Amino acid sequence: MSATFKEYIDHIRTATTSIFEGMSVTMSYMFRRPSTVQYPDRIPKPIHETLPARYRGFLEVDADICTACLACERACPINCIKIDAEKDKETRRLVMSRFDIDIAKCMFCGLCSEPCPTGAIAHTPHFEASTAFVENLVFRFVPEDGAVEAFKPIKGYDAPRARRGQVLEAMGLVHTAAKARAFRSPPADLPRVRAPEVPPQPEDKSTFDPPQEATSKHAARAIGLDRNQVSDLLMEVMAGTDCGLCDWPTCRQYTDALAGGEDPSPTKCAPAGPEGRFEAQAILLAWRTGKVEG
């Protein structure tokens, strides 16, 4: 009986000692400099600048040196690359009318970049492009209203390529600069980052230019709403990334400005894509005129 009681006391002593040993380690870290950092980018350099040179992030295409050979499209094992190319009837030169990459499907294997003769397609160090709509993860490297002439390589000449990530940054597909700017600002009452004042535009149909054959899914809901409700409806079609590309710190401030007439342009939300920008135009037009066009 005494041996059992002694074991019981020893167990209590061991448990108490173990707790204090563990807590002493934890307590010591309260007086040390933290080993971890708060994400995102509360570090001297943005995180994408600290990644290895061969890091496989989002794909980008330098269309200026793309030969439209379709090698990358054929190499992709999951068919997330789509290219349309044909010869121009006048110049007889090969032109691309489409070069799309569905980043939502991409598995970042790198097989597409291996056969590229000029290095036009390559992985970048960027990996952040969160969005409320998966359709916005289709990166389009050929403008929808134009075409790009295929590059014709010259033997013995290495075509200069843009810095990795430069194309995505120029297209506004990653929000590194805007995110860093917002991070440096206070977490509340963010100061407005505004472009030069633009004279107000007349509030009529000429202000908007929706596609001729498109039909809005949300415009009818805008009729009869008040200002706050319209702002809520606009938030449904915006990307919701708070990227700052619209010159407003948050998407909510942008939609409030649209509903209040402080910002006359409903087409600034690049991450929302053509569909989202069209919906924003249609919502405001229906709200202001009281009817749905088309």
Under the banding of pLDDT at 50, 70 and 90, the label for residue 211 is very low
Q: How far apart, in whole angstroms, are the C-alpha atoms of residue 239 and residue 280?
A: 11
- What local confidence, expressed as pLDDT, does residue 175 receive? 54
Beta strands in the chain (DSSP E): 59-61, 81-87, 94-102, 121-123, 138-140, 148-149
- What local confidence, expressed as pLDDT, does residue 73 receive? 94
Q: How far is CA 15 from the centre of its chain?
A: 51
DSSP 8-state assignment for residue 200? P
- What local confidence, expressed as pLDDT, does residue 3 receive? 62
What does pTM read for this prediction?
Answer: 0.48
What digits encode the pLDDT tens for the residues 223-264? 888 889 888 888 888 877 777 778 888 888 899 999 888 888
**Gap between the terminal Cα atoms of the chain:** 92
Q: How far apart, in whole angstroms, are the C-alpha atoms of residue 82 and residue 91?
A: 24
Average pLDDT of span 155-175: 74
SS3 state at 86: strand
Average pLDDT of span 85-106: 90
Q: How far apart, in whole angstroms, are the C-alpha atoms of residue 71 and residue 119?
A: 11
Average pLDDT of span 57-68: 91
What structural domains and CATH numbers belong to the chain? 49-180 (3.30.70.3270), 214-289 (no CATH)
